[in-house]
């Protein structure tokens, strides 16, 4: 692993020259963790324990690329997104955006950067005030940043409405007058108002019908080209992420367990968790569906308040061995993969390996939960 543009901290996921745009990364995360203090759930125990929502995540995102982020519910995708947008303070680690270390900037110091990193949410209706007209909702960012006269603002808002496929004549309507897909377009227009460089899309199409999902995804792709945007695209649905992403990072219990160029992840997933997620995807061809490997993961997702020791996936992994209980694997290249494909597994899968034949080789007595280490730094959130 090496960066073309300077030294990187060990463990950071760095794009190799062959997939690099030649530009410096727009975003670099180094060992980012976020733990939430919660009331202890243990009987007869007072005080706090910590939800380790994001744990030691290192990633880079290049200008103009789309990084997909997938994983089951509760694995930490939204928490990571909110850390990047600095809606949450970090517990530890650092975030560098466009050459600036934003890890510890105050709310006031972050203000000029807020326009550069925007978020689009799953439920735009929840973030659209039902009593305000769409024109003023989309125009808010201009007003907050003291940009433009009222007439100029209206013109800019109507231009934006047109760019996201809304009728500019509907400037005076209320959110309730729009469909789910149109509301997502309103949320997108608002996010784009101040011409951000990075947009974090957190499950932007999960609440929409499949036909509308495709329209919104196409719109996001067009806007990426038009505005030169860099996306982090979050979804629990790998088939959606596949369509939009240049690279995909897979998360499990707060860790990134595999990251690879999108097509490569689908062709040769190395991590047992990724392979299990892929095996659950629907297949259009019935013959292919009959022949393919199906992997049923046993057991519940462990609690992030007390994650398993060693590899966090060992309690559910069909390939788990004794060393998996002790050693937390680093993200690194497996077999002859290129440096763009990294896997955190002590026993990565060979391409032709049939994981449905694997059985764990550990006793229940070996499955131990690690003691809660607690956070190493502040856990306060930026409101």
| Residues near ligand SF4 (CB under 6 A) | 271-272, 311, 313-314, 317, 319-320, 324, 329, 345-347
Percentages of the chain per state (helix, strand, coil), in multiples of 5: 35, 20, 50
Cα distances (Å, whole numbers) of residue 96 to 92, 158, 230, 317, 326: 13, 34, 15, 34, 32
Q: On the CB side of 368, how many CA atoms lie within 13 Å of its CA?
A: 13
Q: Which does 124 bind (CB under 5 to 8 A by kind): ligand SF4, ligand ATP, Mg ion, none?
A: none
Q: Residue 81 CB, nearest distance to Mg ion (Å)? A: 8
Q: Residue 161 CB, nearest distance to ligand ATP (Å)? A: 29
Q: Residue 334 CB, nearest distance to ligand SF4 (Å)? A: 10
Q: Which is nearer to ligand ATP, 81 or 217 (by Cβ)? A: 81
Q: Which is nearer to ligand ATP, 51 or 67 (by Cβ)? A: 51
Q: Which is nearer to ligand ATP, 68 or 304 (by Cβ)? A: 304
Q: Return residues touching Mg ion (CB under 5 A).
A: 77-78
Q: Which does 311 bind (CB under 5 to 8 A by kind): ligand ATP, ligand SF4, Mg ion, none?
A: ligand SF4
Q: Which does 313 bind (CB under 5 to 8 A by kind): Mg ion, ligand SF4, ligand ATP, none?
A: ligand SF4
Answer for the pair 69, 233: CB distance below 8 angstroms, yes or no.
yes
Q: Which does 216 bind (CB under 5 to 8 A by kind): Mg ion, ligand SF4, ligand ATP, none?
A: none
Answer for the pair 275, 254: CB distance below 8 angstroms, yes or no.
no
Answer for the pair 179, 144: CB distance below 8 angstroms, yes or no.
no
- 342: β partners: 259
Q: How far apart are CA 101 and CA 206, in angstroms?
A: 32
Q: Residue 249 CB, nearest distance to ligand SF4 (Å)? A: 16
- 279: β partners: none
| Cβ neighbours of 120 (radius 10 Å) | 24
Q: Which does 347 bind (CB under 5 to 8 A by kind): ligand ATP, Mg ion, ligand SF4, none?
A: ligand SF4
Q: Return residues touching ligand ATP (CB under 6 A).
A: 36, 38, 51, 53, 71, 73-79, 236, 304
153-181 burial code (b ≥16 CB/10 A, e <16):
bbebbbebbebbbbeeebbebebeebebb
Q: Are strands 198-202 and 230-235 parallel, antiparallel or unpaired?
A: parallel
Q: Which does 314 bind (CB under 5 to 8 A by kind): ligand SF4, Mg ion, ligand ATP, none?
A: ligand SF4
First-to-final CA distance of the chain: 36
Q: Which does 75 bind (CB under 5 to 8 A by kind): ligand SF4, Mg ion, ligand ATP, none?
A: ligand ATP
Q: Residue 106 CB, nearest distance to ligand SF4 (Å)? A: 39
Q: Residue 300 CB, nearest distance to Mg ion (Å)? A: 18
User: What does the block give as tokens for 125?
Assistant: 């209706």
Q: Residue 299 CB, nearest distance to Mg ion (Å)? A: 22
Q: Which is nearer to ligand SF4, 52 or 163 (by Cβ)? A: 52
Q: How far apart are CA 360 and CA 379, in angstroms?
A: 36
User: What does the block give as tokens for 302?
Assistant: 């462990």
Q: Which is nearer to ligand ATP, 36 or 273 (by Cβ)? A: 36
Q: Which does 13 bind (CB under 5 to 8 A by kind): ligand SF4, Mg ion, ligand ATP, none?
A: none
Q: Which is nearer to Mg ion, 69 or 317 (by Cβ)? A: 69
Q: Which is nearer to ligand SF4, 141 or 329 (by Cβ)? A: 329
Q: Which is nearer to ligand ATP, 38 or 322 (by Cβ)? A: 38
Sign of the C-alpha dihedral, residues 4, 200, 247, 355?
positive
Q: Which is nearer to ligand ATP, 73 or 151 (by Cβ)? A: 73
Residue 80 makes CB contacts below 8 A (sequence gap 6+) with 32, 34, 54, 57, 69, 251
Q: How far apart are CA 311 and CA 313, in angstroms?
A: 5
């Amino acid at each position: 692993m090496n960066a073309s543009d300077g030294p990187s901290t060990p463990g950071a996921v760095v794009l190799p020259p062959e997939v690099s745009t030649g530009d410096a990364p727009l975003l670099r995360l180094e060992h980012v963790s976020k733990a939430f203090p919660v009331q202890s759930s243990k009987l007869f125990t007072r005080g706090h324990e910590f939800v380790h929502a994001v744990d030691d995540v290192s990633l880079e995102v290049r200008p103009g690329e789309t990084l997909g982020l997938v994983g089951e519910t509760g694995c930490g995708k939204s928490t990571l997104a909110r850390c990047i947008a600095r809606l949450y303070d970090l517990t530890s680690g650092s975030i560098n955006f466009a050459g600036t270390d934003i890890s510890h900037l105050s709310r006031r110091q972050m203000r000029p950067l807020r326009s550069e990193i925007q978020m689009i949410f799953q439920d735009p209706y929840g973030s659209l005030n039902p009593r305000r007209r769409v024109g003023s909702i989309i125009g808010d960012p201009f007003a907050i940043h003291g940009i433009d006269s009222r007439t100029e603002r209206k013109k800019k808002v109507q231009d934006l409405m047109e760019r996201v496929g809304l009728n500019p004549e509907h400037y005076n309507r209320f959110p309730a007058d729009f469909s789910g897909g149109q509301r997502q377009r309103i949320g997108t227009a608002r996010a784009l108002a101040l011409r951000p460089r990075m947009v974090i899309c957190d499950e932007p199409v999960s609440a929409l019908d499949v036909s509308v999902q495709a329209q919104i995804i196409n719109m996001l792709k067009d806007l990426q080209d038009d505005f030169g945007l860099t996306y982090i695209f979050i979804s629990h649905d790998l088939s959606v992420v596949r369509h939009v992403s240049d690279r995909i990072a897979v998360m499990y219990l707060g860790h990134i367990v595999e990251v690879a160029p999108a097509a490569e992840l689908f062709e040769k997933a190395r991590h047992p968790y990724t392979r299990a997620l892929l095996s659950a995807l629907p297949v259009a061809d019935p013959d292919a569906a009959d022949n393919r490997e199906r992997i049923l993961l046993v057991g519940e997702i462990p609690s992030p308040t007390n994650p398993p020791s060693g590899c966090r996936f060992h309690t559910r992994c069909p390939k788990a061995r004794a060393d998996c209980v002790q050693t937390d694997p680093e993200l690194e290249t497996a077999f002859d993969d290129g440096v763009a494909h990294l896997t955190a597994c002590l026993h990565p899968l060979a391409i032709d390996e049939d994981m449905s034949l694997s059985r764990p080789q550990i006793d229940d007595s070996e499955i131990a939960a690690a003691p809660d280490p607690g956070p190493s730094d502040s856990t306060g959130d930026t409101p």
